Amino acid sequence: MKKFLLILGILILGNFVCAEDTVLTGGVTFDWVNMEQVQRDEAIDNYKNIIFTDTENPDYKKKEFKEKYKEYLKDTEYKTHYRLSNAGVKETEKARICAFFAEKPKVLYMYALQYKDRPERVFYYTPFGKLMYVDEMSENYPNFPYYSKQYRINGHLVGAIYFTDKDTQYTYEPDGKFKGVWYMDKMFDSKAKLIMTRTNW
């Protein structure tokens, strides 16, 4: 879960917002702190029920997942993508790129690609081009609202996010447990307590 939160802190799933990107905010009002608790609980349950169904297994079978994404298991252009990511390039003719750096020392440990011919998926790779994660966005992406689910290479669900607008994301663990709601640079728990901030908004 720590890795999931780390990724969320740098890359807003589905929106593909890297640390240095500029985000345009809309006119949506976020009133989580001033809501009645019953209203917060209703929103949490409503978005959870949209993302998760009782009959659905949240995970893929490993073989099924690898078969589904067999074309993306290895980034054949990883040397180029590594070099571009490391240099801060955000876009090529074929894909948008996002780099993930360790803080000390500043070393690129992962990069993500969102191919322009398949924008509803984001693929995360090691510096050597091995697939690590895949984000799957719902059918109405990129229009709001939509949701995104992130999977490990073994097909296990890492977590899910419901995007109500550019500024607001409801995050859930693989079992559907509510993790928190991001509003711009702040994350609040179900009781409206501030639990996390991010510097890349």
User: Is there a contact between 1 and 173 (Cβ–Cβ < 8 Å)?
Assistant: yes
Q: What is the average pLDDT across 11-22?
A: 45
Give the global pTM.
0.83
DSSP secondary structure string, 132-161?
EEEEEE-TTTTSSSEEEEEEETTS-EEEEE
Q: Which of 35-44, 54-63, 154-163 has the lowest mean pLDDT?
A: 54-63
The pLDDT score that the predictor gives to residue 130 is: 97
Q: Which of 26-30, 84-88, 102-106 has the lowest mean pLDDT?
A: 26-30
Contacts of 25 (CB under 8 A, 6+ apart): 166, 167, 184
User: Is there a contact between 152 and 165 (Cβ–Cβ < 8 Å)?
Assistant: no
Instruction: pLDDT band for 104, please (50, 70, 90 cuts).
Output: confident
Preceding amide of 142 cis, omega within 30:
yes
